[in-house]
Amino acid sequence: MAQIGIDIDQAQVFLKSGQLVGIPTETVYGLAGNALDPEAVALIFETKNRPSFDPLILHTSALERVGDFVENFPEPLRELAEKFWPGPLTLLLPRKSIVPDLVTSGLDRVAVRVPNHPLTARLLTSLDFPLAAPSANPFGYISPTQALHVEAQLGDKIPYILDGGACQVGLESTIVGMEEGQVVIYRLGGLDISEIEKVVGKVKVKDHSSSNPAAPGQLDSHYAPRKPFILGNIETLIAQKKAEGVDFAVLSFSESFERIPRERQIVLSQSEDLHEAAQNLFAAMRKLDETDVEVILAELMPETGLGRAINDRLRRAAAK
User: Which residues make up each annotated binding site for L-threonine?
Assistant: 27, 113, 133, 173
For residue 274, report the phi and psi dihedrals to the nearest 5 degrees: -70, -30
What residue numbers does the annotated binding site for ATP cover?
50, 59, 135, 143, 187, 223
Nearest residue to 244 (alpha-carbon basis) of 300, 299, 288, 294: 294
164, 21 Cβ separation under 8 angstroms: no
- How far is the C-alpha of 174 from the C-alpha of 87, rounded, in Å? 10
What residue numbers does the annotated binding site cover?
27, 50, 59, 113, 133, 135, 143, 173, 187, 223
Nearest residue to 233 (alpha-carbon basis) of 257, 199, 259: 257
Nearest residue to 268 (alpha-carbon basis) of 256, 257, 291: 256
32, 132 Cβ separation under 8 angstroms: yes
- How far is the C-alpha of 195 from the C-alpha of 132, rounded, in Å? 26
Give 295's strand partners.
248
- How far is the C-alpha of 107 from the C-alpha of 247, rounded, in Å? 45
Peptide bond into 86 cis (omega under 30): yes
DSSP secondary structure of 169-226: S-SPPEEEEEETTEEEEEE--SS-HHHHHHHH---EEPPP-SSS-SSTT--SS-SB-S
End-to-end, the C-alpha distance of the chain in Å comes to: 31
Nearest residue to 225 (alpha-carbon basis) of 276, 169, 296: 296
Specify the amino acid at residue 310. I
